[in-house]
A = this chain, B = another copy of it.
Amino acid sequence: MHVGGRPVTLSGLPIREIVFTAGAPPFRVDPNGDFETEQMYVQWMKLVSPSGRYPILMIHGGGLTGVTWETKPDGNPGWQSYFLKAGYDVYVADAVERGRASWSRYPEIFKGEPFFRTKKEAWELFRIGPRDSYATEPPKRTAWPDTQFPVGAFDQFMKQGVPRWATNDVATQRAYDALVRKICPCVIIVHSQGGNFAFNAALRAPDKIRAIAAIEPSGAPDPAKTDLGPLKAVPHLFVWGDHLDAHDLWRKITPAIARYRDGLLAAGSSVTEIRLPERGMKGNSHMMMMDRNSDEIAGMVKTWLDQAAR
């Protein structure tokens, strides 16, 4: 289903002629008219007899879609399947502008322009390999020796990437807020850029969100500017992979999330933090739900959810 969004009307744009198929006569296209924009997409699967106390809402990260949680790029089952088999109803979102949520003409409706993540940026940012270890030819790429990411499936993974805008945060938050009103009470499993949307959704509807498992969130409300009191009864789990100190951006992100974590603790929230390397699990990437040991990590999240969600 699609959730949220609003109607919008374009006018005054020039009429174009487009040739659809080689040799066919040009087709007159008038871009003016009414459209829907800023909706999101959510796919749900409900079990006949769920055993999980609440459904799980799975929220993906930046430049990606709900495919994050489906069958992994190496062909093995992903977390959507894991948590369905574990007895949870599962909702998987595609945020505004991503995947089946669709996107709108820019700059007239969406502001600014989209950008596209390169393989090199993903390779480094998602910590498959160290800085400057990416190469166009797969055999020349040098991953972290202990990486858990299925390196042979990296190009297949990159087929999952979608463009993103830097200007849709307000619309995206609005859609997530509408989704929470529609489908929760629920628990959330959220990845990376999605973290900030999930945390803010919980601040606006703390009674609706019974727990948040945040997988390497890349942003969070600043407790110096935001009263985290409403989150007192929303337990949080943070899960971190390996090699975080080896990338500039992660060295900047983790202190911001630590401030949010400390703000939650000061507000009296229940906080659990799992640093996988401290538990003897080395080499996990940012895409740990696709790593070879993803089921082990899902198991930790499930154990936490089962005891944390009121």
Contact = CB atoms under 8 A, between A and B. Distances in A.
B118 A155 contact: no
Contact of A159 (B16, B39, B65, B75): B39
A105 interface: yes
A5 B160 CA distance: 11
B160 A18 contact: no
A36 B41 CA distance: 23
Contacts of A65: 100
A121 interface: yes
A170 to B, nearest CB: 9
A118 B34 contact: yes
Interface stretch (A161-169, A259-267, A283-291): A161-169
Size category, A interface: 35 or more
A274 to B, nearest CB: 27
Contact of A103 (B7, B27, B163): B163
Contacts of A161: 35-36, 102
A67 to B, nearest CB: 6
A103 B112 CA distance: 17
Q: How many copies does the complex hold?
A: 2
A152 to B, nearest CB: 15
A99 interface: yes
Contacts of A160: 2, 100, 102
A100 B102 contact: no
B118 A1 contact: no
A187 B36 CA distance: 34
A119 B33 CA distance: 7
Nearest to A163: B103
B100 A36 contact: no
Contacts of A162: 100, 102-103
Interface in A87-122: 94, 99-100, 102-105, 112, 115-116, 118-121
A21 interface: yes
16 contacts: A2-B156, A7-B136, A7-B155, A18-B112, A19-B166, A29-B115, A34-B136, A35-B161, A36-B155, A36-B161, A94-B100, A99-B100, A100-B160, A103-B162, A103-B163, A105-B163
Interface of A: 1-2, 5, 7, 9, 16, 18-21, 27, 29-36, 39, 41, 43, 65-67, 70-71, 75, 94, 99-100, 102-105, 112, 115-116, 118-121, 136, 155-156, 158-163, 166, 169
Given A2-B67, A31-B116, A102-B163, 7 more contacts: A5-B159, A16-B115, A35-B116, A36-B159, A39-B159, A94-B100, A105-B116
6 cross-chain pairs, A with B, having the tightest CB-CB distances, nearest first: A33-B118, A2-B159, A39-B159, A34-B119, A99-B100, A20-B166
